Structure 1
Amino acid sequence: MYKIIIDSCGELTEELKKDGHFVNVPLELEIDGYHIVDDETFDQLDFIKRVEESPVGPKSACPSPERYMKEFEGDYDDIFVVTLSSKLSGSYNSAILAKNLYEDENGTEKNIYVVNSRSASIGQTVIGMKIQEFEEQGMPFDEIVKKIEEYTDSINTFFVLETLETLRKAGRLSNVKAFIANTLNIKPVMGSTDEGSIQQLGQGRGMKKALAKMVDCIAEVTPDSENRRIAISQCNCPERAEYVKKLLEEKLNFKEIIIVPTAGVSTMYANNGGIVVAG
């Protein structure tokens, strides 16, 4: 028996929610004193409205070690935890502490491994799906750990947002120019670094040109697309996600392309109209 725990920055498809091996551990959001749990009760449109009306911007809090430890209970031999990048959140450190505390109290009969995705959102999801592939092949735990670290190293995450205000307010744009020429409708193409922080990769005038530029960036770093799964997470813009899928299909031949809506934490950073792609 195995279990794959993904903090709620990583969206689960409807199939994964019903699969039985996957579970989200929720982060919590706060905006102007209003607290939100990032679980199935999350109301995306209400949250987007609150963010747009807030002069300060939202904040998030990572799951506690105790919350992770609760998910370690049960008849599981292998347990994997996939967290958003340690450069962006304390979720990874909280999960590591949970693992250490659980093993101190219960011994090491269960195999528990915490994966620092060095990504976020749908990047975490594709890592979880790859773990399942290895588990279903009957691969030993130690070999899965080795292969999933190699896979994580190979993942690239990209995004194009309508606005970078939430990221700026949260201090996540230290490597990016603070001023974006909004008056010229310039949309930056952003991506993850090898360490899991954020960098600017390019830009386009208008959303469509920026999305096309993003797909060009994906093509440059994906030589083996026919053997890879890629995923798109969209914040209240399903048509835009379908447009990106079409661009990807025209440029590359991926094994699978999946689309999911952003959950709470990803909605907080992506904002209305944001697109995240990882694979």
Structure 2
Amino acid sequence: MYKIILDSCGELTEEMKKDGHFVNVPLTLEIDEQQIIDDDSFDQASFIKAVAESPNAPKSACPSPNAYMVEMDCDADNIYVVTLSAQLSGSYNSACLGKDLYEEDDESKNIHVFDSKSASIGETLIALKIAECENAGMSFEQVIETVDAYIEGQHTFFVLETLETFRKSGRLSGLKAAIAETLNIKPVMGSTDNGYIQQLAKGRGMNQTIDKMTKCVMDVTTDCENKILAISHCNCPDRALSLKKKMESLATFKEIFIVDMRGVSTMYANDGGVILVV
């Protein structure tokens, strides 16, 4: 038996929720004095409204080591944990500490923590890859080796409708944010090999920026017919569907699916943001 634990930045599809092998451990979101648990009770619309009305940037707190340990205490022999990029959150370090503490009392299980070097559906795709390897009958060590290689070859891209969260958090000066807003400039962002975020391109208007993102995707993507492409969106299902159709017109993928963002992804991407991972 196996179990796959994701922090709540990794969205589960409806099929994954029904599967029984996957579970989320929630982060906590904070906006002003309000704390929000990023679980099934998360209300995206009210969170977006609260973020827009606040002069402060939203924050997140990673799950405690004990929260991971609770999920490790199960009947599964092989346990895999998938977290947000260690460069973006303390979730990975917390999961590693939870693993070490759990193994002090119980060494009977195989437990491994993966740093996704990504976020959102990047974690989702990694979890699906783990399940694919397990269902193919691979050993615990083979699963780790295969999934590590998959992570190294994975690419994450996202486009933001607004830069307000970056401005509020101090990651972008007010002047630059104002100029970008006035000129309707949108950045195409992507993850680096070590899990940091970098700007890849920029466009004027969302349609042009989406086109530039798809070009960035195709510049680094090969063997499309054997790859799953995933899209997550924050309150913009039509934009996500349009992006899906655009990618289908550019290449034949093994599968393309769309999910709505949970809390942590919503905090990063903000209203109208889209993330694409392949």
The question of a shared fold, defined as TM-score above 0.5 by the shorter chain, is answered with yes
Map 1:81-100; keep pairs closer than 5 Å: 81-100=81-100
- In the alignment, residue 98 of structure 2 is paired with which amino acid? A
Q: Do the aligned residues in 1 keep the contact of 2:56 with 2:169 (CA within 8 Å)? A: no
Counterpart in the other structure of 2:125: 126
Whether 1:18 aligns to 2:18 is yes
Q: For 2:115 and 2:168, how far apart are their aligned partners in 1?
A: 24
The answer for the alignment partner of 1:6 in structure 2 is: 6
Shift of 1:253: 1.0
How far did 1:166 drift? 1.8
For residues 193 and 178 of structure 1, the distance between their equivalents in structure 2, rounded to whole angstroms, comes to 23
Q: How big is each residue's C-alpha offset from its partner over 1:38-58, in whole Å with a ceiling of 9 and x where there is no partner?
A: 000000000000000000121
1:167-202 deviations in whole A, cap 9, x for unaligned? 44446679xx95552211011100001110110000
- Number of equivalent positions: 276
Pair 138,171 (structure 1): closer, same or farther in 2 beyond 3 Å: farther
Asked whether the 8 Å contact 1:235–1:271 carries over to 2, the reply is yes
Contact 1:187 1:207 in 2 (8 A): yes
Paired residues of 1:69 and 1:98 also in contact (CA < 8 A): yes
SS for the counterpart of 1:209 is: helix
Q: Percent identity?
A: 61
Q: How does 1:1-279 map to 2 (within 5 A)?
A: 1-107=1-107, 109-170=108-169, 179=177, 181-279=180-278
Distance, in Å, in 2 between the alignment partners of 1:116 and 1:222 is 21
User: Which secondary structure state, in structure 2, belongs to the residue aligned with residue 75 of structure 1?
Assistant: coil
Runs of at least 5 residues in structure 1 that lack an aligned partner in the other structure: none
Q: Supply the distance in 2 between the matched residues of 1:169 and 1:254 (Cα, whole angstroms).
A: 38
Q: Give the AA of the match of 1:48.
A: I
Matched residues in 2 for 1:140 and 1:171: separation?
46
C-alpha separation in 1, matches of 2:41 and 2:162: 25
Report deviation, 1:114: 0.3
Question: Does structure 1 retain, via aligned residues, the 8 Å contact 2:120–2:261?
Answer: yes
Q: In the alignment, residue 57 of structure 1 is paired with which amino acid?
A: A
Contact 1:172/1:198, CA 8 A, preserved across alignment: no
TM-score of the superposed pair, with normalisation by structure 2:
0.96
User: Is there any run of 5+ residues in structure 2 with no aligned partner, and where?
Assistant: none
TM-score by length of 1: 0.96
SS, match of residue 138 in structure 1: coil
Q: Name the CA shift for 1:95/1:149 in 2 (closer, same or farther; >3 Å).
A: same
* Structure 1 residues 123 and 75, CA gap change in structure 2 (3 angstroms): same
The CA distance in 2 between the partners of 1:120 and 1:170, in whole Å, is: 19
Partner SS state of residue 93, structure 2: helix
